[in-house]
Amino acid sequence: MEQALKGMKVVDLSQVLAGPYCTMVLGDMGADVVKVEKFPLGDDTRTMGPYINDESYMYMMVNRNKRGVCLNLKTDEGLQVLYKLIKEADVFIENYRPGVTRKLGIDYDRLKAMNPSIIYCSISGYGQTGPYKSRGGFDIMAQGLSGLINMTGEREGKPVKVGIAIHDIAAAQTAIQSILAAYIHRLKTGIGQYIDVSLVDSGLAWTVWEAAAYFGKGEVPRRNGTAHRVSAPYQGYKTKDGFILIGAANQKLWEKFCLSVVNKPEWVADERFLTNSIRAQHVDELEIEMEKVLMEHNSTYWLDLLDKSGIPSGPIYSYDQTLSDEHILSREMILKYEHPVAGEMKTLGFPAKFSETPSQLKSPAPLLGQHNKEVLVELGYSIDEIDSLLTNSVLKN
């Protein structure tokens, strides 16, 4: 099957997570992605373990379906190679702070002059405008500025970082959807454009319920553990042998839970639990009452009963349990492939299942400079010219 983005050419000058995740997804959907790594050590994630035969698993996780060149952009020759790539590209992605691209000679105005239809996407911590634009920004700083850390954790506990690099992934997803929208616009008009994506903005845009509470009644989101801000019961609860999640988040489900699962009809008439909003006001009392009952049996007993009763529920897994769950495996969320140095590898699968243009794992993450010759030959360089660039430390492999 032909893939949706076949024919799209992407030049990726980003590194670490947000940009590489974005271009990985574009590559999964068929784009030809050339990853340009800095000379001489490459993407910073190459220095992050764990390692398999000296290849970084971190790097390999977000750089599949790309061709790789290692280019010295501090040389005129290296910059000319990049310019040739960009002249033929549809999309260019970088993750520098404002001002750096101009110093490097790769700012939007310069590249637009070379390729007026280029879609230029910049991913940075704080964006290209505003008082914080020149600050260095990683995911944890974005979580702090967006308020996410302060609203995560147990109510009386310390603020807690979200368990994954959520702002990085949010920025990657924002970049993906923005690039695709710009690409559709370009197909219609022939006009490219500049896209400014920040980690802070991307994660903040996901705080929709929290913004509703603040804008609607001035409520500042607090740490709630696993509890929901406006619905109950909708959180994790202790059982005899662990914890489970229960989401009886509307009146019909609540009454079914009381009558069919825990056999507590008196809870339906309890003034503390009459409606969803009232239950949310008495969430601590509700948790105490529910756990008195739930701790009589183990998690499997309750999950089976909840499932049969049609009450949304689920386990709270450790990550190894997640990756061995039959549903996860049946959805092909773990893929195997061969890497030329690391050998047989596992990676995460594709979350979207297309009927006509499925994502594909066509190639493993490139070795450092693996495709130098292949890419430069396509640009019109001779083998002798490429060897000279290697000798003069313009290319690295």
Active site (catalytic) residues: 168
The neighbouring-strand residues paired with 124 are 198
Q: Encode 269-307 in three state secondary structure.
A: HCHHHCCHHHHHHCHHHHHHHHHHHHCCCCHHHHHHHHH
Q: Which helix (H) or strand (E) holds 67?
A: strand 67-71
What single letter denotes the amino acid at residue 190? G
d(C-alpha 178, C-alpha 124), whole Å = 15
The token duo for 123 is 């991913």
Q: What is residue 344's three-state secondary structure?
A: strand
The token duo for 322 is 């997640």
Q: Which helix (H) or strand (E) holds 100?
A: helix 100-104
Packing angle, helices 76-87 and 383-391, rounded to 10: 140
- Phi/psi at 363 (5° precision): -155, 150
Contact 39, 104 (CB under 8 A): no
d(C-alpha 262, C-alpha 305), whole Å = 9
Radius of gyration of the chain (CA): 25
d(C-alpha 390, C-alpha 372), whole Å = 9
CA dihedral 86, 88, 89, 94 (to 10 degrees): -10
Other CB atoms within 10 Å distance of the CB of residue 201: 18
DSSP code at position 261: I
The full DSSP string for 347-374 is EE--SS--SSS-----SPPPPTTTTHHH
The token duo for 240 is 């005899």
Residues in the chain: 397
Strands 55-56 and 9-12: unpaired
d(C-alpha 205, C-alpha 199), whole Å = 10
